[in-house]
Copies of this chain bind each other. A is one copy, B any other.
């Protein structure tokens, strides 16, 4: 109860709140007429008009041609200018870099990939990131100067300052000030987050868990991780270390993937990154050895999942990550195990966003950040759409 967010205030504050309501109503939805807006916001028509005029003058809103073929005088239509700003999401994996460019609605404008190697030195990975970002901007016909925010998802434990503490799959990613390094690459605010958390966000914003308030996202693949959405918000925890149930020995999650990688069905020369996929495919075809491996894996998977479900009682559990392509194989054994211990069974689904999960989540994360900056009820004042200043004033690197 230290300092409250002053909800009320001035007359101008009322106008600000109303402008915010109008913007929020306009976002996501397609172009809307004045009357529709007035009804949805609860404001009177004249007031709505005045607010819209103000927003148009600022550049947040633009008029679009009226819809033809309607009775009566055609209504002017307005829509949120999603192209007022741009943001980028980047997924830094062990074997790939992925970048995507989006507008303020979160709609993708361009997307690029670069291969990577887990053991590549830091400089190489950073160079690949820069290339992917530049290519992506090129595809979208934009430059660095157009970027408002860059959100980055990466493997590993990321603390609240955007520092990567350690990463099991990228050895070089260890006690690394990634946010600082990327802050020198991009002329805007850079946010760094754990990739599982961003994937969880994407699934709740536009994936299979859309509109769920409590979501447990399981990243299952070469490494295991979880992302939690609680009460509709990404849960980071006090030290931004939430979701690291992998560390609990009793779950067996650290060795878990080995059950699939080292299954007897896997042929000799197969590259290690394809081993688990092979086992899962074999299990789908009924191979008994593969099925046994899957059962062993599911045993472990179920322990950590049950812990999360029993603690949080989520509406839905989403299976994501590389192995989620085989969700059809994994879900039934997981479900039967959970049913044995869970008080209330949550919904259980495979990810629908697949490989794009993390970039999309990064974009959603960037949008959330910008929303907070511009459109939160406790934001300073409604500014015209210009790129927000980067928080840490950074002099030219010598």
Which size class do A's interface residues fall under?
35 or more
Q: Which of A11, A18, A157, A311 has the most CB of B within 10 A?
A: A311
Is there a chain B Cβ closer than 8 Å to A306's Cβ?
yes
Complex Cα distance A16/B211, Å? 30
* Contact residues of A between 1 and 43, Cβ < 8 Å to B: 1-2, 4, 6-9, 11, 13-21, 24-25, 28, 41-43
Residues of chain B with a CB closer than 8 A to A14's CB:
8-9, 11, 13-14
Question: Cβ of A6 and Cβ of B42 under 8 Å apart?
Answer: yes
A214's partner among B41, B157, B238 (CB-CB below 8 A) is B238
Q: Which of A97-105, A225-233, A268-276, A277-285 contacts B (4 or more CB under 8 A)?
A: A225-233
Is there a chain B Cβ closer than 8 Å to A57's Cβ?
no
Complex Cα distance A242/B314, Å? 8
Complex Cα distance A313/B240, Å? 7
- With A7-B17, A20-B7, A231-B231: A238-B313 Cβ-Cβ less than 8 Å: yes
Residues of chain B with a CB closer than 8 A to A120's CB:
none
* Contact residues of A between 346 and 398, Cβ < 8 Å to B: 346, 377
Is there a chain B Cβ closer than 8 Å to A287's Cβ?
no
Question: Cβ of A303 and Cβ of B250 under 8 Å apart?
Answer: yes
Q: Assembly of this chain: how many copies?
A: 2
Interface CB pairs A-B, < 8 A, 9: A7-B20, A8-B16, A8-B20, A9-B43, A237-B312, A244-B313, A245-B310, A249-B341, A250-B303
Residues of chain B with a CB closer than 8 A to A228's CB:
311-312
Residues of chain B with a CB closer than 8 A to A250's CB:
250-251, 303, 307
Question: Cβ of B28 and Cβ of A18 under 8 Å apart?
Answer: no
Considering the complex, give the chain B residue whose CB is closest to the CB of A29: B1
How far is the CB of A205 from the nearest CB of chain B, in Å?
10
Binary flags per residue of A179-212, CB closer than 8 Å to B gives 1, else 0: 0000000000000000000000000000000011
How far is the CB of A60 from the nearest CB of chain B, in Å?
16
Q: Which of A8, A20, A211, A238 has the most CB of B within 10 A?
A: A8
Is there a chain B Cβ closer than 8 Å to A243's Cβ?
yes
